[in-house]
Amino acid sequence: MKKIFFLLFFIFLILEGILYSQTYVEMYGQLRVQGRYLVDKNGNPVQLRGMSLFWSQWGSKYWNRDVIRWVKNDWRVNIIRAAMGVESGGYLSNPTYHKDLVNTVVQACIDEGIYVIIDWHDHNAPQHVNDAVNFFKEMAQRWGSYPNVIYEIFNEPDQDDSWDGIKNYAYQVIQAIRQYDPDNVILVGTPNWCQDVDVASQSPLTGVTNVMYTLHFYAASHKAYYRQKAQTAINNGLPIFVSEFGTCEYTGDGAYDFAETDAWLSFLDTNKISWCNWSLNDKAEAASALVPGASTSGGWPDSQLTQSGIYVRSKTRQNPAASGIVVYLVGMSSGSVVFGSTNVVANVTSGNPVSKVEFYIDNSLAATDTSSPYSYTWDTTQYSDGWHNVKVIAYDNSNTQASANTSVIVYNGSINITITSPQNGANIYGTAATIAADVNKGYEKTITKVEFYLNTTKIGEDTVPPYSTTLNTTQYPDGSYTIKVTAYDVRGRTGTEQISVNIKNTDDPPSVSIISPQNNSTIGGQVTIQVSATDDRGIQKVEFYIDNERKSTDLGSPYSWVWDTTSYSEGQHTIKVIAYDTANNAAYDEIVVNVSKDIQTDNPPSVQITSPQNGATISGQVTIQITASDDNGVSKVELYIDTTKLAELTSSPYTYSLNTNSYSNGTHIIKAIAYDTINQQ
């Protein structure tokens, strides 16, 4: 009976898929680049073989833990490429959704002990450099401490991307990653769809470490000529990584060429070059490893594999098998929310006696247990709210070890709500005003739902971040309202935040005034007309008229136009400005000036605070000293501290005695504004 129980128990563990043995990452450890090779923790060249997932916006159904586990166990892959699409409905359209997909795959690969490529799958990456920098900063902060991770920062530069342009982009992204991850390998795309590795080898990046260069090929299209280009790069010492290849034509479809694929893989094996096949997906095209409708959780028989899938599986299964002592975490999966005192339990099976189990929190040893059941009571209140890594390492009496780890969310604090739109006191209008809130930002899995209220009326509910709803304000009379956001967390608690807004569907006309020159002033030469224009919904444009003839249009603040008066007769002229709001409502201001040929160009004044110095620490009674000058004379200098006007100084020297005892300790801003005789400032 005991034998039957053990067999059933062991089968149960396998079916649940939570067994952990000595993994590929434990075998190879922290990867690095040495010369032209990818090497393991002992400095030995290593070749990884694996699969690339399909574009995240079109192939996400296979971006899950079950698929990762299956290809690790059955196909024996030791690397997965998470090809996160950027354009065409990808990351740029919904960053949160695509980051969640990537994070799911990365965590699954970490849990399964294999390597993972975080791929910025973009053909136009230099156009999105700021987005890429921010994305990889976030990835490096979250995953940089795991040796599993490889970053691919530019999928495939197209034929229009020069190597110098690619390098400029790469330096910026690499610098962002290295702020948080000094060690993990970074893959850099090469020109012409990652085929010109020979070009890159003539002028590789400098001042960077653990960088490799990607080569892509599709065997039915790219043959011996492209292998020769790769050989040239190898001869030049360039470390190459094949992050994508196909057994068919470069379109991803067409005829297979397995003979040419054999030639390529033999070349890669000879040169210890790692590779990922495109792609683990069921799209009806030759490059797919799966037939349309194949299971989205693995377990594929040959009938659910394409010819390419059967072929590539036979190659990945040449990877060495991982083996050893078995350990898994009980009841704690990725994204679990923990609080208070939490029991961390490890189940260990081994052919030899188990000597000890070590428990780590964020890579720091927290406890050691030498007897079964192996457990540790974790006081999560001693840790900050947010993501933390839990890891166990089991040792047998021959010092063979195996590990299991996962990332969980510590959540002991209160619900943190920030209403991001609209702002407190804002005017809202229209049929679809957006109401949005961040709730426990960065660890939203602690939240079960978010409700939105206008006064006491519920207007919406959201369960998926980013949390938002829309409000048809035309169903309510204009006036003051309260927007309230109520969030519910996994601990059964609620939190509330509220702001005041004004529903204002009546669109007021804009307000506009000519700041400079002044009405009835005498001007000449080049004169800058300065205008102040405001509106409750925004200014569309400001038009400038001289004697009722339109001369210029300004679309953005500050609104101004330089008028060359030398082409106008002396005497009286009219300056008129018209401001238009976004609903095309208009308002105007008009002044009369006298043009004189005796006056040359009237430039704006210059002003400088000479004492105290910027950044100085001051106390007691302090004299503020200002210098101001203008080609036609300074009319006044206004002096402010923070937003409060202190004085209006009309004669030089411009000084003011400030009693600092009237102000709180801390940083304050002193500002001086000089005006000339036509009110330019």
Q: Which of 26, 112, 156, 543 is catalytic?
A: 156
- 244 counts as catalytic: yes
Task: Give the domain 24-316 fold.
Answer: TIM Barrel (3.20.20)
- Mean pLDDT, residues 449-462 taken together: 97
Q: 606-676 — its CATH code? A: 2.60.40.10
| CA–CA separation, 32 and 210 (whole Å) | 6
pLDDT value, residue 351: 64
How much is the mean pLDDT over the chain? 90
Q: Check: CATH 3.40.50.150 for 417-503? A: no
Q: Quickly list DSSP for 337-366.
A: EE-SEEEEEEEEE-SS-EEEEEEEETTEEE
- Domain 511-595: CATH superfamily is Immunoglobulins (2.60.40.10)
Specify the pLDDT at position 321.
60
Catalytic residue among 26, 112, 152, 244: 244
How wide is the angle at C-alpha 286 spanned by C-alphas 281 and 290, nearest 5°? 30
Q: Distance between CA 123 and CA 125 in Å, rounded?
A: 6
Q: What is residue 326's predicted lDDT score, i.e. its pLDDT?
A: 65
Output the pLDDT for position 15.
31
Domains 511-595 and 606-676 agree in fold: yes
Question: According to the CATH classification, is domain 326-410 in 2.60.40.10?
Answer: yes
What pLDDT, on the 0 to 100 scale, is given for residue 398? Answer: 76
Nearest 10 degrees: Cα torsion 138, 144, 147, 149: 20
The predicted structure's pLDDT at residue 5? 36
Please indicate whether residue 112 is annotated as part of the active site: no
pLDDT above 60 (res 4) = no
Percent of the chain at pLDDT > 70 equals 95
Q: What is the pLDDT of residues 537-587, one digit of tens each?
A: 889 999 999 999 999 999 999 999 999 999 999 999 999 999 999 889 999
Domain boundaries, the chain: 24-316, 326-410, 417-503, 511-595, 606-676
Q: Average pLDDT in the 623-652 region?
A: 88
- Please state, in angstroms and rounded to a whole number, the distance separating the CA atoms of residues 550 and 565: 15
Q: pTM value?
A: 0.51
51 closest CA partner among 225, 305, 234? 305
Number of other residues whose CB lies within 10 A of the CB of residue 603: 15
Specify which residues 639 forms β-bridges with.
647, 672
Per-residue pLDDT averaged across 657-673, rounded?
89
- Segment 323-336 shows an average pLDDT of 72
Decide if pLDDT at 136 tops 70.
yes
pLDDT band at 303 (very low <50, low <70, confident <90, very high): very high
- Determine which of 103-117, 254-268, 328-342, 613-627 has the lowest per-residue pLDDT on average: 328-342
Q: What is the pLDDT of residues 463-521, one digit of tens each?
A: 989 999 999 999 999 999 999 999 999 999 999 999 999 999 888 899 999 999 999 99
If you average pLDDT over residues 69-88, what whole number do you get?
A: 94
In this predicted model, what pLDDT tens digit does every residue of 401-424 receive, in sequence order?
A: 777 788 899 999 999 999 999 999
* pLDDT bucket at 282, cuts 50 / 70 / 90: very high
Res 2 pLDDT > 60? no
- 118: left (phi > 0), else alpha (psi -120 to 50), else beta? beta
The confidence band for 630, taking pLDDT boundaries of 50, 70 and 90, is confident
pLDDT by residue (tens digit) across 238-247? 999 999 999 9
Q: What is the pLDDT of residue 322?
A: 60
Average pLDDT over residues 394-404: 81
- Which amino acid is it at 316? T
Among residues 272, 296, 268, 269, the alpha carbon closest in space to that of 282 is found at 296
